[in-house]
A = this chain, B = another copy of it.
Amino acid sequence: MQIEQTSIGNGLLAGLSPEDYALFAPHLVRVDLDRRALMSAPDQSIKYCWFPEAGIASMVATSLDGQETEAGIVGREGMIDVATILGSSRTPLRSFIQIPGKCLRVPSSVMMTAYEASDTVRSTFNRFAFELFAQIAQTALANASYSVEQRLARWLLMCADRLSDNEIALTHEFLSLMLNVRRAGVTLAIQSLQSSGYVESRRGSVRIMDRRGLENFAKDAYT
């Protein structure tokens, strides 16, 4: 039984014309992924493309000596992994589930075929690829220019956007991996944001209390 387009929670797929959607429908599978579930990795060829319907996936750049930093995040507005549409069966980035939620997946061969077959599929996905491109460039800027607190603020805002929720369920430890800073550094940064009234923090979660203020604080780190 195929998944009806009206039931799709992912923006890219939901926005396709019925004809374009039909290219995907027979191959779509809805799956529930746990935190940290791997979607694609540098050392393996890409089997599936993933379309989050909820939650957030994270793309991290890695180096052989073990450094890792988040390059970008993708929610239900997007997909993993754009390598497929840009004609590469491999990616230098590791993508995994950061905040669990249902995802749709298709074999990457299906994605490639649909991309080749339809102008409108192409334009939809190219546009997303470019948004991601811009997001990652912005991350490069943020990493070079802004304080830990501002980068954290940016990150929280981007997450909240994609979750449509002000409560972000992640530990300091995890945040420190994303931002490539000390775990203790995250604790201090959160305290600082908290003392300004922008967020509140419980064990294992951060809640945005004053979004406007937080945006203002993040300045141009958050676009």
Decide: A137 and B87 in contact? CB cutoff 8 A.
Answer: no
A150-183: contact bitstring with B at CB < 8 Å (1 yes, 0 no)? 0000000000000000000000000000011000
Chain B proximity of A26: nearest CB distance (Å): 24
Using C-beta atoms within 8 Å of the partner chain, give the interface range for chain A.
Answer: 35 or more
A71 to B141, CA, bound (A): 7
Chain B proximity of A194: nearest CB distance (Å): 24
Chain B proximity of A119: nearest CB distance (Å): 7
Chain B proximity of A124: nearest CB distance (Å): 9
From B132, B136, B145, A67 is in contact (CB under 8 Å) with B145
List A64-84 residues whose CB lies under 8 Å from chain B: 64-65, 67-69, 71-72, 82-83
Chain B proximity of A123: nearest CB distance (Å): 5
From B69, B83, B87, A144 is in contact (CB under 8 Å) with B69
Decide: B220 and A144 in contact? CB cutoff 8 A.
Answer: no
Contact residues of A with B, CB < 8 Å?
59, 61-65, 67-69, 71-72, 82-83, 85-88, 91-93, 116, 119, 123, 126-127, 129-130, 132-134, 136-141, 143-146, 179-180, 219-221, 223
A-B pairs, top 4 by smallest CB distance, nearest first, are: A63-B220, A86-B130, A61-B141, A143-B143
